[in-house]
Amino acid sequence: MEKILTLFLCWQLLICHAQKINTPVNLASAYFKEAEMAAANQKFWSVKLYGPMLFVDQKSRITYANMPDSAGILRQEGEIYKGLLPKDVMVANTSVKWQGTLWSVILWPLPQDHDDRLNLVMHELFHSVQQKLGFPMHSPTADHLSTMNGRIYLLLELQALKTALSKPLNQRQEDLISALLFRDKRQKLFPKTFDNERVLEMNEGLAEYTGVMLGRAKDSIKHHLYKIITHASEHNSLIRSFPYMTGPIYGYLLYEKNPEWTTKIDSSANFPELIKRTYQFDLPGKQLNKEITSRADHYDGKAIVRLEQLREEEHQKIFSDYVAVFTKQPVLTIKLIKMGIRFNPSNLFDLGEYGTLYPTAEIKDVWGLLTVSEGGVLMKDWSLISLPAGQGISVNGQVIEGKGWKITLQADWELVKKNSSHYVLANKK
């Protein structure tokens, strides 16, 4: 009996110790140390990556920081700092300037998987230093990647890159030529928006490359890239999520030939030129359509086309439904003045001349805070948004709501009905 009681007490002590270890403060402290170690002695970028970081619970706004804030809102607890982040600070996986300091903000709780977690943290740390490195934080959308042909030639490019990755360095040239020919085809089909691909790759692409290279075990990176390519066709939207694929894939291909390639680029760089120069080849200059068709067969081209044709039928139906909601039914339109936004880059939907549909989002501006949980918000040129009002709008003080969305207005703003199908926000002053 005495032995049983002793074992029971030891077990209880172990449980208490484990619970103490896994408190949010201790976990956050461990995650900060993890990031600091991963960023130490990195040679990808010429500036120090590890810097001010905030882990923020989106609902409670409880925040864990690796250093104090200038106003003393975050109080030291153990080796880190904890407090409530003010409501006027936008919460998302991003970089935010708060109290004169640029912080990397990451939503709490962080992923449990070590590599996924560290990948995310290092991605966001890059965003906090990219302007120092000369890479502006531009976030356009590559709307042509919502079209059937745009998707087909991107998926073909990825398949060619997957084949290249599977081969020794000196046997990759033909597959890389194929990949760049598929990309070149997109450029010819969509000349007006194609450069947005390059812009995004020099922003989110470089951030994700940094996350993958510093956040994942070296012997697991190639498997991770294969997995990205395998699941690429499952993405409903690629118009802003694609650089999370192409950035680390092209980056890794360059790294295997020249580990310090990032130290020799600026914001005008593009992956095709870097790849051609590094692997020493040029693209064929004649009969490109015939060449592309022939090469597509080597990368399951027919299967990709069949899948995308089926997807296009559903895409057109969704497109028509959204257009009807925003053009044939009442809407609330709001001008963007000093906007901050949180959204999911993997579910955006291009509506062509009407703008980009964000199915879920949080937008903060001088007029207040908008939360969209379903149905979507339509954004045009980052200057105007539209919300569906076909099922009515309710007003309760400074809170206005429609189906799937809610706006908490600032005190000097109000809802104005222009006519039976058009609402706007107006300043009372």
| In the chain, domain spans | 24-129, 143-311, 329-427
Which of the four pLDDT bands, split at 50, 70 and 90, describes residue 8? very low
Dihedral class, residue 41 (left if φ above 0, else alpha if ψ from -120 to 50, else beta):
left
The predicted model scores a pTM of 0.90
Torsion over CA: 242, 350, 344, 105 (sign): positive
- Residue 109: asked if its preceding bond is cis (omega within 30°), the reply is yes
CA distance between the termini of the chain: 79
The 10s digit of each residue's pLDDT in 62-75 is: 999 999 999 999 99
Query: Looking at the predicted structure, is the pLDDT value of residue 90 above 90?
Result: no
Cβ-based neighbours of 341, under 8 Å, separated by 6 or more: 90, 92, 358, 361, 362, 363, 364
Q: d(Cα 279, Cα 179) in Å, to the nearest integer?
A: 13
The 10s digit of each residue's pLDDT in 349-389 is: 999 999 999 999 999 999 999 999 999 999 999 999 999 99
Which residue, 63, 241, 53, 217, is CA-closest to 145?
241
Query: Looking at the predicted structure, is the pLDDT value of residue 410 above 70?
Result: yes
Token couple for 214: 């510093």
Min mean pLDDT across 9-18, 108-117, 173-182, 380-389 is at: 9-18
Token couple for 297: 């067969």
Q: What mean pLDDT is predicted for residues 238-267?
A: 97
8 A C-beta contact, residue 228 and residue 212: no
8 A C-beta contact, residue 423 and residue 417: yes
Half-sphere exposure of 227 (CA within 13 A, CB side): 6
Token couple for 395: 């007003």
- What would the DSSP string read from start to end of 214-268? HHS-GGGHHHHHHHHHHTGGG-S--TTTTHHHHHHHHHHHHHHH-TTGGGG--TT
Which of the four pLDDT bands, split at 50, 70 and 90, describes residue 49? very high
Q: d(Cα 125, Cα 34) in Å, to the nearest integer?
A: 13
Cα distances from 223 to residues 5, 201, 300, in angstroms, run 49, 21, 20
